[in-house]
Amino acid sequence: MAQALRALIAATLLAVAVGSSPAAAVAAGPRAPSWAELSPADKQVLAPLAGEWDALDAPRRQKWMGIVKRYPKLAPAEQQRVQQQMSTWAHLTPEQRNQARQQYKTIKQLPPDQRQQVQQKWEEYQQLPPEKRRELASRGAAPPQPSGATPKPSGAPPHPSAPSPQPSGPTPSKP
């Protein structure tokens, strides 16, 4: 469970770090090549997705192609991180991927200063010893959330750097 949570968080941060979304990828270009049509260089970058590439829908392939275009401009350490996170993403279940996408949307809606706080808390979490991270993940514990942060969608797993919101007043009823 803790490993799945870490994988989900890593996948969410990959989306945030790369700065892409399915909508942005669709705008980037109309081409969604099959695996056989990819260049050897593209196949090398997308290797973690080789087994499922042709099963991905066109918008998802376009999103990954957007990452491939930016990949050569990344520092070697960033390239390695993207490869690791892409591999993690490839091993997520469809439900976990949907949860990661929802977390991405939630984080993107935060004001820039709160997004920065989330990223800083994630970096602090990454510096914790593995046993402490497992402990936090198993009990769903997280540091206090900045005031005014947007709540996570229901059903999303706890995120060490984006804890449950603390209501500041009555919850408005849904129309």
Average confidence score pLDDT of the chain: 74
With b for 16 or more beta-carbon neighbours within 10 A and e for fewer, the 149-158 pattern comes to: bbebeeebbb
**Over 50: is that where the pLDDT of 40 sits?**
yes
**Over 90: is that where the pLDDT of 11 sits?**
no
Average pLDDT over residues 118-141: 86
**Over 50: is that where the pLDDT of 137 sits?**
yes
d(CA 36, CA 11): 26
pTM across the whole model: 0.53
Residue where the block lists tokens 């997308």: 46
φ and ψ at residue 152, rounded to 5 degrees: -70, 155
At 76-127, the pLDDT tens digits run 999 999 999 999 999 999 999 999 999 999 999 999 999 999 999 989 988 9
d(CA 13, CA 11): 5
